[in-house]
Amino acid sequence: MRRAEGRGPRFRPRIQRRRAYGVAFAAACLGATLVGVIALAALLVDVWQDGAGTLSWSFITSYPSRIAARAGILPALVGSLWVLVLTAVISFPIGVGTAIWLEEYAPESRLKRLVQVNIANLAGVPSIVYGILGLALFVRALALGRSVISGALTLTLLILPVIIIASQEAIRAVPNSIRSGAYALGATRWQTVRGQVLPLALPGILTGTILALSRAVGEAAPLLLVGAVAFVPFVPERLTDSFTVLPIQIFNWISRPQPAFHARAAAASLVLLAVLLTLNGVAIALRNRYTKKL
Amino acid sequence: MVARRGAAAGALVVAAALAGCGGDGQKEGGLRGAIEVDGSSTVYPITEAVAEEFIAATGRGVRVTVGASGTGGGFKRFCAGETAISNASRPMKASEAEACERNGVEYLELPVAYDGIAVVVHPDNVHARCLTVEELRRIWEPGSNVRLWSEIRPNAPAVPIRLYGPGTDSGTFDYFTEEIVGEPGASRADYTASEDDNVLVQGIAGDPNALGYFGFAYMVENRGRVEPVAIDAGRGCVLPTRETIESGEYSPLSRPVYIYVDRASLSRPEVRAFVRFYLENAAALVPEVGYVPLEPPEYRDALEAVGRAAGVRD
Amino acid sequence: MAPRLSVVRRDPRAGGRGAAGRDAGSGSTAGSLRRPRRRGRTGERAIGVALFLCAAVSVLTTVGIVVVLAGEAASFFREVSPIVFFTGTEWTPLFVPKRFGVLPLLAGSVLVAAGAALVALPVGLASAIYLSEYAPGRVRSVVKPALEVLAGIPTVVYGYFALTFVTPVLRMVWPQTNIFNAASASLVVGVMIIPLVSSLSEDALSAVPRTLREGAYALGATKFEVATRTVVPAALSGVLASFILAISRAIGETMIVAIAAGATPNLTLNPLESVQTMTAYIAQISMGEAPHGSIEYETIFAVGLTLFALTLLMNVLSNAVMRRYREVYE
């Protein structure tokens, strides 16, 4: 066997230049990453500067008022928490149930593909379209009125696709060997899912759910349509009570002529950001604690 | 301070009203119930102020909530029986009145304040401090070809007029176009539109060639950043002030705004008390939020109408 | 944490639900398995039905959306011809004379989404490459969550950031910038969707098996070449899918554009002008003064239907792309 003789073009390694490209590229990627981080920092600093001076305990526990110095966010904060809890309670079982059906129960069929494509599509539908649906379905057709429960149901529909997709990913990540082992020992399908698959998938499911809920808390557009009212000087006590949420209160205050309200809006934004950062922090802690490479 | 005086006055009124009813009038907290109000975002600040004082005066016994779905949205809910009171920056249209009639909803139309529309320019613009209605019409009519300030005032520089105005789906827009151009909605389309009057203020304050219009309250709040233009409707240049709007001298850009009250709801004591509280305290509260109160006799007339509609009991 | 194999550890003699734990005595379980299985089967079936109903909720949601939008849009299209709607270049339903051409709104949405994509796609992909190929573990554990926070910030806050911070900066650089402009909204929407691109792309990049990378290294490639010529092409389907998802999100964004881009429908390519997107228009009219049931109000549904169709189209595209480029590794 003859050794290949370099008859063709000579291969010039040009290591230096290629390494240089590599360094430049790495720097560019790092720079790009920093763009996101810097933008976040700029936004947080801007809101902090405008609003930190107005934050106080009385701000959090007061009711809204036309007098900026007295205006507070209590009904909006409680409304947001109500909506958050209700949405979580309703969307979690339905979302996880759908994901389990898709991954564990449904046979490969046109029905399954239809549902899958449908969910992927719903994930991209603009939030305001969900508002239109919520208004027609929950407020009008089911006569639930402009209440906390209507808002929660509308947001449930909004974040359901996100929960389903995240849960599906988490369930898919559980290796088949676990399932096969359980079946081999005689477990039924539900026993396998409940006893083996779900506990392993739960961290991923929870992370996805919490991130979806944090999106729900920050939404204003669909709730505007469903009737989160502008002036609600009361904390909601029943599911059918009128309500408002922090994003809408912020939106409302920004539109007032008095600049003092703009500072209040910035302070309310800080409270909202605190709620969201807490949710995000919980999600990340969960993910870090329970993730393992399978 | 004014608010506290208003609240004290209000509390007295409510107590008097309750005493007059001969019921549990001794305690302020005797009234209970829920009142839902919705409608125009222009009237919203007034109703909100009244609601706030009323809630305080009744010891937080009555839950008043105020929405801002817009005059049209408010009427739809009102005629469907969902709300007891509707805020409106314009009178009910024929189609809306038909809907109310179909559903058996009878109502009272009560004016509560005057809203003025201020036409404003940048403080450095000294050429156009007074404009006639005709000049405004030429600038704002659909298909208008007016582009430069020099076309309006010969000694102004030949720079483009940058126009700012409210969004097309607002009562302010409808009213301005109706009064200045002659038909609601008749306006050139190439202006910077905003639903948020604060942004209009910001835009005009940063643009020496700007010309815009928005609610009187926002002009008052931002005097110095923008300057109002006096309007000449044939009787000389009139600047928009509280006095000129109240007297009607500032025309045609001042209009009454209303609340519509469901007659059937007036049988509820808390609604009666609220409406009376509204009319009795509007004169004090309306200026606080930047609007112009009616003359006292107009409020008295409205109160009498309420009394008649509510029946002999009051 | 070792997976719990409770089926193995549970004592078959202990009472418990399900077939495996039913046997009370030791020894053969053959006889006792028969009875519980019948009960178990009905229970299993019930659970299967319950889960199917959960899945049905999502199908019903789509049906609901289509019914609501199409129903009202149908009465709109009885009065305004669809051809005029889809090809007209002026949108003035609340002005006199009324014009119902949706192209200015469509152009507004596309302009803002294009600008956002211009920001987010390169930055997101580069961030994903950095996080998956270059970043040391500690940097990654800080930066990744920070980027995810960007996705969680409420859009109202973003909107006011755009109006009060970004627009003044733009006006300093280009003084002819309008107080409302598409550029400001685009930039901020772009920042908002960076995490979508970076997280999903990073997942796709991480899923590329190490064997592929090591093969490339073995052939003498530098890290840069491995990243750009081996890993990214291998993960292309996931990366492109993340792009399309991000663009759909940009098109569907409401609050940021309503606050920062303006309320003037404007058929233009100039990002420094005020435009109105489809979503902002829907928000404006639903909160406004138009009498319900009027043709102006019905435009909400016609525009909503257009928006829904557009996002559906993007989704179908995304699926087609993923199927075309998907690489199967095992």
Distance between CA atoms of residues C59 and B273, nearest Å: 49
Interface check for C274 against chain B (CB to CB < 8 A): the answer is yes
CA distance, residue A231 to nearest chain B CA (Å): 5
Interface check for A65 against chain B (CB to CB < 8 A): the answer is yes
Among A89-93, B305-309, C238-242, which stretch is predicted with the lowest mean pLDDT? C238-242
The pLDDT assigned to A3 comes to 54
| Tally of domains within chain B | 2
Chain C neighbors of B185, CB-CB under 8 A: 94-96, 98
pLDDT digits (tens, 9 = 90+) for C76-118: 999 888 899 998 888 888 787 788 989 999 999 999 999 999 9
C120 with C57, same domain? no
- The CATH number for B242's domain is 3.40.190.10
Distance between CA atoms of residues B255 and B42, nearest Å: 12
Superfamily (CATH H level) for A57-290: MetI-like (1.10.3720.10)
Domain boundary among C79, C95, C114: C79
pLDDT digits (tens, 9 = 90+) for B254-311: 888 999 999 999 889 999 999 999 999 999 999 888 888 998 999 999 999 998 887 7
C224 with C126, same domain? yes
B143 with B233, same domain? yes
What ipTM, to 2 d.p.? 0.81
Interface check for C291 against chain B (CB to CB < 8 A): the answer is yes
Q: What range defines the domain where residue C202 resides?
A: 103-325
Question: Prior bond to C97 cis, omega within 30?
Answer: yes
B89 with B127, same domain? no
- Please state the pTM of the whole predicted model: 0.81
- The CATH number for C138's domain is 1.10.3720.10
Q: Which of B65, B220, B289 lies nearest to residue A229, judging by beta carbons?
A: B65
Query: What's the average model confidence in pLDDT over B193-208?
Result: 83
C74 with C120, same domain? no
CB atoms A233 and B65 under 8 Å? yes
Query: What's the average model confidence in pLDDT over A212-233?
Result: 82
Q: Which two tokens stand for residue A232?
A: 């609600």
Among B21-35, B186-200, B270-284, C131-145, which stretch is predicted with the lowest mean pLDDT? B21-35
CB atoms B169 and C180 under 8 Å? no
The pLDDT assigned to C285 comes to 81
| SS3 state at A166 | helix
Q: Which of C171, C289, C293 lies nearest to residue B70, judging by beta carbons?
A: C289
Interface check for A234 against chain B (CB to CB < 8 A): the answer is yes
B103 with B14, same domain? yes
pLDDT classification of A22: cutoffs 50, 70, 90: confident
Q: Which two tokens stand for residue A268?
A: 């309310």
C41 with C160, same domain? no
Test the B interface: residue of A225, A231, A244, A253 with most B CBs within 10 Å? A231
Report, in this order, helix, strand and coil percent for chain A, each rounded to 5.
Answer: 75, 0, 25
CB atoms A181 and C1 under 8 Å? no
Q: What range defines the domain where residue B281 resides?
A: 2-114+257-310
C140 with C236, same domain? yes
Distance between CA atoms of residues C207 and C325, nearest Å: 15
Interface check for B56 against chain A (CB to CB < 8 A): the answer is no
CB atoms C154 and A218 under 8 Å? yes
The pLDDT assigned to A84 comes to 92
Go through C112-137 and write b for each residue having 16 or more CB atoms within 10 A of its CB, e for each that does not: bbbbbbebbbebbbbbbbbbbbbbee
Q: Which of C8, C47, C131 lies nearest to residue A33, judging by beta carbons?
A: C131
DSSP alpha helix (H) spans, C207-253: 210-218, 223-225, 232-234, 236-252
**Residue C253: inside a domain:** yes
C257 with C289, same domain? yes
pLDDT digits (tens, 9 = 90+) for B3-46: 444 444 444 445 444 443 333 333 345 788 889 999 888 888 89
Distance between CA atoms of residues A222 and A228, nearest Å: 9
Whether C15 shows a pLDDT value over 50: the answer reads: no
pLDDT digits (tens, 9 = 90+) for C194-212: 988 888 888 888 888 889 8
pLDDT digits (tens, 9 = 90+) for A261-283: 888 888 999 999 898 888 888 88
B178 with B209, same domain? yes
| Tally of domains within chain C | 2
**Residue C203: inside a domain:** yes
Distance between CA atoms of residues A268 and A76, nearest Å: 9
The pLDDT assigned to C129 comes to 92
CA distance, residue B308 to nearest chain A CA (Å): 30
C65 with C210, same domain? no
B193 with B262, same domain? no
B183 with B301, same domain? no
Interface check for C89 against chain B (CB to CB < 8 A): the answer is no
Interface check for B150 against chain C (CB to CB < 8 A): the answer is no
Contacts of A135 (CB under 8 A, 6+ apart): A225, A226, A227
Between A294 and B56, name the one with better pLDDT.
B56
B23 with B57, same domain? yes
CA distance, residue A146 to nearest chain B CA (Å): 10
Chain A neighbors of C157, CB-CB under 8 A: 43, 47, 218, 250, 269, 272-273
Domain edges within chain A: 57-290
